[in-house]
Structure 1
Amino acid sequence: MAKEDSQKPQDESRRRFLKYSGTAIGGVVVGGVIGGIIGSSKKKTLTEEQPTKPETPIAKPEKDYNQALMFFSQDHFLITEAATERIFPKDDLGPGAKQLGVAFFIDHQMASAYGINGRDYMMPPFYKAETSQGYQLSFKRRELLTLGLEALDEYSADKNKKAFVDLTPEEQDLVLTAFESDEVKLKGVPASTFFVMLQNLTLEGVYSDPLYGGNRNMDGWRMRNYPGNQMSFLDVIEKDEFIKMEPLSLHDHLELG
């Protein structure tokens, strides 16, 4: 008991010191000069450290980095875009070649091994071929396409005093028809050979997998109700009725995988 009594004044003295010094047990701030300073400091710190609400990010428009020129000059690209739009124009059934990105598809093809006939035998001698023998010329595809595009512009300037891209759709049709029927003379190659190649490339760009630059958003497939590159048809293959499916690209399988 004597020991407990001897500690009592010391405990009361400690409590008195804590009370009048402006601090408090358990971290609770009390009045007084020191308490006011500490309280003000803590309030300021809490205000500064208060996390601000993150702003809602502004949705950025999606970019298609596949839509980039690899071979064409800007002028050749615009001529191709205008010519393919007349071969496959926009109508009530869906978008045309321009909206489907066909000119980008053709550009990418010309930048690839296909454009330089990488898998074809291209050594001389070269002979005039029959129509049934297909392509038998010394021109590489990219050379033939460039020659034809420049000829479109030159013929338009001679005939209409305007560049091909500045012609009306009806005038562009007449120019393309002149090439299709060999009314135009190209340098060492029938104009119809160029036209047929451009026509084939246009249709390939409309219906190829979007991975290759054309058929933007798979809208070319949607016009035909074509399902694209599905993983499997096991669940629908035995059904009698037509099953309309949302098309899938080869790129979709990379995301699913």
Structure 2
Amino acid sequence: MTDNGNKINNKSTEEKQEFDSSRRRFVKNTGMIIGGVAGGSVLGGLLTNQFQSDTETTDGKKEPAPATEARMFFTRYEDFVVLEQATERIYPEDDNGPGAIGLGVPYFIDKQLAGKWGVNAKDYRQGPFLESDPTADMSSLTRGEIFILGLRKINEESQSRFDTTFAKIEAEQQDEILANFASGDVDMKGIGSNRFFDLLRTATLEGAYSDPMYGGNRNIEGWKMKEFPGAVASYADIIDEEEFVKMDPVSLTNYQQKS
């Protein structure tokens, strides 16, 4: 009876140890995942490495990007690089201030494409679509699909003409390709290349001058260059001033409670 009791007790102890070991492994692995994503451990680094790599520009310079800047729509980094370079040619950096990349425009566009705008959620989508006329305003393609198609076509044109990717060719060569898109001289399926370029240019300017809360106009630099005051709640305190009053621009985020 005692032997059997010992065997039962030993078996119970072994099962408990095995359970405890499995439980510890589960807790450890769970903690690794949670800690990795939230706290930046090894696993978190692996999962977020694709976002961190975006801070490296094509000229080899590395600049720390804000923590909120991470790709939501573009799963292929190659597509995002083309977007960066194309928007920078449309709105280049100069003596007046930063260009599209410096203003965070590519991330602005990425966020817009990841939302309702990217899937044309509020647009009439029943057709009929004139697929035989790629210059028509309506297309069966969503904005997200148009951007993917257009950006990859830009890279194809670069490879065909200059035997390398769009990000590696000279600025003048990039301008040549974009000019051909703007004039509609590049064949695209489902939509005219000029329609894609119009969409790209409009989104670029919106990203440069929108309120920073939407992901572009980084550090309000776009408004500073235009001397635009931004989302000013009231001008009552300066309405009677005779001289021009230069104001520091404010964002909608300035009016949000911080804690």
Partner residue in 2 for 1:192 = 194
* Residue ranges of structure 1 left out of the alignment (5+ in a row): 1-60
Partner residue in 1 for 2:77 = 74
**How far is the alpha carbon of 1:104 from its aligned partner?**
0.2
**How far is the alpha carbon of 1:65 from its aligned partner?**
2.5
Partner residue in 1 for 2:86 = 83
- Counting matched residue pairs gives 196
Q: Secondary structure at the match of 2:247?
A: coil
**Aligned partners of 1:129 and 1:136 also within 8 Å:** no
Which amino acid is 1:228 matched to? G
Q: CA–CA distance in 2 between the matches of 1:159 and 1:62?
A: 34
Q: What aligned pairs does 1:142-181 form with structure 2 within 5 A after superposition?
A: 142-181=144-183
Aligned-residue CA RMSD in angstroms? 2.4
Q: CA–CA distance in 2 between the matches of 1:203 and 1:238?
A: 33
Which amino acid is 2:226 matched to? R
Q: Tell whether 2:141 aligns with 1:121.
A: no
TM-score (norm 2): 0.71
Partner residue in 2 for 1:94 = 97
- CA offsets, 1:215-246, max 9 Å, x none? 00000000000011122211123334321111
* Residue ranges of structure 2 left out of the alignment (5+ in a row): 1-62
**How far is the alpha carbon of 1:124 from its aligned partner?**
2.3
Which amino acid is 1:105 matched to? F
Q: CA–CA distance in 1 between the matches of 2:223 and 2:202?
A: 17
TM-score (norm 1): 0.71
Q: CA–CA distance in 2 between the matches of 1:63 and 1:136?
A: 36
- CA offsets, 1:70-109, max 9 Å, x none? 0012111111010000000011111100100100000000
Which amino acid is 2:217 matched to? N
Q: CA–CA distance in 2 between the matches of 1:150 and 1:239?
A: 53
**Aligned partners of 2:212 and 2:218 also within 8 Å:** yes
Q: Secondary structure at the match of 1:221?
A: helix
Show structure 1 runs of 4+ deviating over 3 A.
127-131
- CA offsets, 1:37-93, max 9 Å, x none? xxxxxxxxxxxxxxxxxxxxxxxx996232111001211111101000000001111
Partner residue in 1 for 2:219 = 217
Q: Tell whether 2:252 aligns with 1:254.
A: no
Partner residue in 2 for 1:17 = none
Q: CA–CA distance in 1 between the matches of 2:136 and 2:69?
A: 31
Q: CA–CA distance in 2 between the matches of 1:178 and 1:107?
A: 24
